[in-house]
Amino acid sequence: MSEIPEIDLDELEQRITGNPVIIDVREEDEFLEARLDGVVHMPLSTVPERLSEIPTDEAVLVICALGGRSARAVEFMRANGIDATNVAGGTLGWIESGRPVVSGPASA
């Protein structure tokens, strides 16, 4: 397994001001319950078939609940030429730190 680039939640918070592409690979129920505002929902099982939707001209951040699924997604994306970075601590860490989240269906 190759080295998976990773950032922590503090760095994520700093990067959000630059409006990065953040892909949330959690399942639908987790996504609806709470997520970072503006993330793209792409459950881990759908990443291979949706690879063409992921930008290749900019860095992508990948988040899940804690960091395990997103690490697997990052490994797959990087193997396919996408500059992806894992978010360690994930959405649960984000919520536990008191940072803002949104819930419910994503707006179209």
Q: What is the CATH number of the domain that holds 24?
A: 3.40.250.10
Evaluate if residue 108 carries a pLDDT over 60: no
Residue 101 falls inside a structural domain: no
Q: Is residue 104 part of a domain?
A: no
Question: Which pLDDT belongs to residue 85?
Answer: 98
The stretch 32-59 carries a mean pLDDT of 97
> Residue 1 pLDDT > 90, yes or no?
no
Lowest pLDDT segment from 2-11, 35-44, 89-98: 2-11
| DSSP one-letter string for 23-44 | EE-S-HHHHHH-B-TTPEE--G
What pLDDT, on the 0 to 100 scale, is given for residue 2? Answer: 62
User: Is residue 81 one of the residues assigned to a domain?
Assistant: yes
Q: At residue 66, does pLDDT exceed 60?
A: yes
Range of the domain at 36: 6-96
Sign of CA dihedral 86, 51, 75, 70: positive
Tell me whether residue 62 is in a domain: yes
Q: Is 53 exposed, middle or buried (0-12, 13-18, 19+ CB in 10 A)?
A: exposed
Is there a domain that residue 11 lies in?
yes
Question: How many structural domains are present in the chain?
Answer: 1
In a domain, 106, yes or no: no
